[in-house]
Amino acid sequence: MIGYRSVASQEIQRFESVHPSIYAIYDLIELVPDAHIAKQIREHVVAIEDSFVNSHEWTLARDVPELHLGIIGSSDSGKSALVHRYLTGSFMHEESPEGGRFKKEIFINDQSYLLLIRDEGGVPEAQFSSWIDALLLVFSLENEESFSIVCSFYNRMCSFRNMSEVPKILVGVQDSINDSNPRVIKDVRPRKLACDLRCPYYETCAIYGLNVERVFQDVPVATKNVQLQNKEMETTNSLKVNISEKDEDCRSIHNNSVPNDSGLLNDNFHNVQNQHGELRSSILTPTTIRKFRRKSNIFTPSKKEKYMGEMGVGREIPVKQGYLFKRSSKSLKEWKKKYVTLLEDGRLTYHSSLHDYMNDTNGKEILLQYVTVKVPGKTPKGSKSYNAQEDSFEFSIISLENKTWHFEANNAEDRDNWITAIEQQILSSLQNSDGDKKNETDAFKMHCIKNKVSGNDACVDCGAPNPDWASLNLGVLVCIECSGIHRNLGSHISKVRSLDLDDWSAGHLSVMLALGNDIANSIWEYCLNGKQKPASDSSREEKEQWIRWKYEDKLFLPPINPNISLGKLLIDSVCRGDMRAFTLCLARCNYEDINISVSTEDLRTPLHLACATGNLAMAQLLIWHKANPQNLDHEGRTCMSYVRALERTLDNSSDSMEMQKLLEVLEQASVSGMDDADASQY
């Protein structure tokens, strides 16, 4: 109480000191000899006074919630440019040593929030630490000192507050990396720090906008999730108290003991809340703007989670569990003991110890839907070379992208039991996930394409209602008559599919969800130049003429900036995740533009950047436009390398599945020639 009283008193003193200072400035203005300058100064002071008097605590309704985002880092960390890029969409090279205060309206699940961004200019103090709801820790990848400083700043904040409860993101800035300033912070160090802090790690570039939007989108969502969890916990605790009191009353009235079921009630209540939350999130995000719903490991486990013997914190009972040896993927190839569990949902997890498994920390998982199991050197039992006597008890799990995990059991029987159990789960995963679960997911996405994506209730070219055909690479729905005209254009212009009769891959669905008829027509029908769009009852000849004008001759496209190359515009649209600008660039780009590098030093292509951000829709469209998935960047990395690196930062299986889909698209494009890939897909 005394602490709050002190803070309130300080705020009153601060507020009451402003007007005397403003009045003193008015008095000083009277002494300015130049009347014109005096008038200009007075107008600026009046504007400042009005802004102060009408600040949000006096004008903003109580039902507009706030989120407080703090940013820490050294003056040369790149945090000023990061914030400036987010707020303005442009790059500012100069740093602001004094920091800054900024406001922006954001939306989370269609709810408006006032985001208060506080870029702390110096060493964080207690007031800043208690003010924040979330935190960005920013450092420059070419500056060793900036990495050390952000670590020391965070340690200082830990002395003021329990920072484990605060959602946070570690941000490595690429802005200053060039030939004279090479990267000095290798990838393993920030990833280890992020693991220790239990937070995501992103690398950003304010010059091109790489991951900037994603950082500022993810941290408010994580913050809101924490607030909802805390509120839910308070509600649950309140239920516990109420039920406990009622039980006590029952004991007094009936003079016997009544079992207290509050724990069971609370767990059920918690599960129902989570189920509704997941469903709501899915329904509200039919496009790829928010691609991932993260189950962030930055949150401490709920107090109401209960340990269940050796099964750990309230989770499903494994099909099989026990210790196996796992061979390290590092150069030494050491065998280390791991606690391995096989789960009914098609996952195999391994932890360094039973203790880590029970606490659900430092674990890794393998999705069994995309793997096979092999025994090194072993041939089928029916062959002549089969050898029943073996010196080792190894087996390997191999994924589609040829990633291999080597395990060894204590004896042949234990190994064979593991192999049998894993193969059974692989089969179940293929049957369930590829069958019912995949069909259910795809059916929901198809429902969204038909009913949720803006403009898809009518044919994109003639307005006929309820179109049931699609042009995949254009991302639009068309009626059956217009679909025939689209087929006549050729698959290089329009790839036609039936919504109900054809099979749809994950890449196809992602493009259709990301675009839609309204977005497409804002590009392809930007300026009609006096020409009349056909109606649903227009003749076929009129519709065909219109469609050829629109997609073949490209008569109605909006103009583009002539001072910037198409390739650079394409790169910028990928970094910003701007599907409209991206689609416009694709409509005008040639092969060289599609495969352009960021610079002579930075050899990343637009496809590299789309993979780095996990944008399946953009990656699929680039591949359809002849992007080469085998191009190497300046460090010799492929597009697949970027997807795998991103996959390692994701915290739940659904996000990993999304990355697996992107890997499948890249793999198919890499193995097949581009023309063969088109032929096989369509």
Highest mean pLDDT among 219-223, 433-437, 601-605: 601-605
Q: What is the 3-state secondary structure (H, E, C) of 481-501?
A: HHHHHHHHHCCCCCCEEECCC
* Bridging pattern class, strands 201-204 and 168-173: parallel
Q: How far apart are CA 463 and CA 274, in angstroms?
A: 40
Are the folds of 65-228 and 320-378+392-433 the same? Answer: no
Q: What is the mean pLDDT of residues 443-451?
A: 83
Classified as helix, coil or strand, 110 is coil
Main-chain phi, psi angles of 667, to 5 degrees: -65, -40
590-599: Cβ within 8 A, 24+ apart? 590/566, 591/626, 592/567, 593/565, 593/566, 593/567, 594/570, 594/622, 594/625, 594/626, 594/627, 595/626, 595/627, 595/628, 595/631, 596/565, 596/567, 596/568, 596/570, 596/571, 598/208, 598/571
Does 523 score more than 60 pLDDT? yes
pLDDT at 283: 27
Confidence category of residue 60, pLDDT binned at 50, 70, 90 = low
pLDDT at 653: 57
Third-level CATH fold of 566-674: 1.25.40
Residue range 436-552 in CATH 1.10.220.150? yes
CATH number of 320-378+392-433: 2.30.29.30
pLDDT at 267: 35
Confidence category of residue 596, pLDDT binned at 50, 70, 90 = very high
Adjacency order of strands within the sheet including 476-478: 476-478, 469-471, 496-498
Confidence category of residue 316, pLDDT binned at 50, 70, 90 = low
Q: How far apart are CA 497 and CA 477, in angstroms?
A: 10
More confident residue, 271 or 576: 576
Q: How far apart are CA 587 and CA 621, in angstroms?
A: 11
Can you tell me which residue has the tokens 């360094």?
A: 352
Residue 445: both structure tokens together: 């996405």
**What pLDDT digit, counting tens, does each position of 138-186 carry?**
999 999 999 999 999 999 999 899 998 899 999 999 998 887 888 999 8
- Contact present, 414 and 393 (Cβ < 8 Å): yes
Q: Is 273 left (phi over 0), alpha (psi -120 to 50) or beta?
A: alpha
Q: What is the mean pLDDT of residues 359-371?
A: 80
**What pLDDT digit, counting tens, does each position of 471-501 carry?**
999 999 999 999 999 988 888 899 998 888 7
More confident residue, 360 or 574: 574
Main-chain phi, psi angles of 71, to 5 degrees: -130, 125
Residue range 65-228 in CATH 3.30.70.1060? no
Residue 428: both structure tokens together: 């179940």
pLDDT at 97: 82
Does 268 score more than 60 pLDDT? no
| CB burial readout 549-568, b (16+ within 10 A) else e | bbbeeebbbeeeeeeeebbb
Does 380 score more than 90 pLDDT? no
Does 45 score more than 80 pLDDT? yes
Does 247 score more than 70 pLDDT? no
Confidence category of residue 444, pLDDT binned at 50, 70, 90 = confident
Best CA proximity match to 682, nearest among 470, 516, 423: 470
pLDDT at 463: 94
More confident residue, 633 or 137: 137
- Contact present, 397 and 405 (Cβ < 8 Å): yes
- Contact present, 162 and 195 (Cβ < 8 Å): no
pLDDT at 301: 40
**What pLDDT digit, counting tens, does each position of 193-244 carry?**
988 888 999 999 998 888 899 999 888 888 777 666 665 555 445 544 454 4
Q: Where are the domains of the chain?
A: 1-59, 65-228, 320-378+392-433, 436-552, 566-674
Give the angle subtended at the CA of 232 by the CAs of 230 and 236, to the nearest 5°.
115
Contacts of 601 (CB under 8 A, 6+ apart): 178, 179, 634
Confidence category of residue 333, pLDDT binned at 50, 70, 90 = confident
Question: Percentage of the chain with pLDDT > 70?
Answer: 76
Contacts of 60 (CB under 8 A, 6+ apart): 114
Does 575 score more than 70 pLDDT? yes
pTM: 0.42
Confidence category of residue 671, pLDDT binned at 50, 70, 90 = low
- Contact present, 320 and 415 (Cβ < 8 Å): no
Q: How far apart are CA 198 and CA 182, in angstroms?
A: 28
